[in-house]
Amino acid sequence: DAKTTQPTSMDCAEGRAANLPCNHSTISGNEYVYWYRQIHSQGPQYIIHGLKNNETNEMASLIITEDRKSSTLILPHATLRDTAVYYCIVRVKAAGNKLTFGGGTRVLVKP
């Protein structure tokens, strides 16, 4: 699976959009971009995933650049409950078995 690079931490104002970048310059054509988050010490929670096209669900939007070498997770209206560590993961969808979590980005939403 391709390696990902994320900022270690970032702050965001409550009510504003939070834009979380992820670099995956070695991504290959059949690798998907997944985002999970971990609130405090809870188990990670799935947010969204995509291959080429931008994706949106009730939690967030995922913007993938045309060359697919980077992506951005957007939380449209950050709340205090969005304070968490956010993990960007790249993997082959059919690989099945391994989902490697790196260090992630620690996001602090401030009032």
Partner 1 sequence: NAGVTQTPKFQVLKTGQSMTLQCAQDMNHEYMSWYRQDPGMGLRLIHYSVGAGITDQGEVPNGYNVSRSTTEDFPLRLLSAAPSQTSVYFCASRADRAGTGELFFGEGSRLTVL
Stated length of the chain: 111
Q: Which of 96, 97, 100 is nearest to 34 (CA)?
A: 100
| Residue 17 CB neighbours (<10 A) | 12
What is the closest distance, in whole angstroms, from the C-beta atom of residue 95 to partner 1 in the complex?
Answer: 5
Cβ density class 83-104: b for 16+ within 10 Å, e for less: bbbbbbbbbeeeeeeeeeeeeb
Q: Which of 88, 102, 85, 82 is nearest to 12 (CA)?
A: 82
* Among 13-21, 23-31, 67-75, 89-97, the segment contacting partner 1 (CB under 8 A): 89-97
Residues 43-72 that bind partner 1 (CB under 8 A): 43-46, 49
Q: Which is nearer to partner 1, 21 or 44 (CB)?
A: 44
Q: Which is nearer to partner 1, 37 or 68 (CB)?
A: 37
What is the closest distance, in whole angstroms, from the C-beta atom of residue 8 to partner 1 in the complex?
Answer: 11
Q: Which is nearer to partner 1, 3 or 16 (CB)?
A: 3
The residues of the shown chain that bind partner 1, judged by CB under 8 A, are 36, 41-46, 49, 87, 91-104
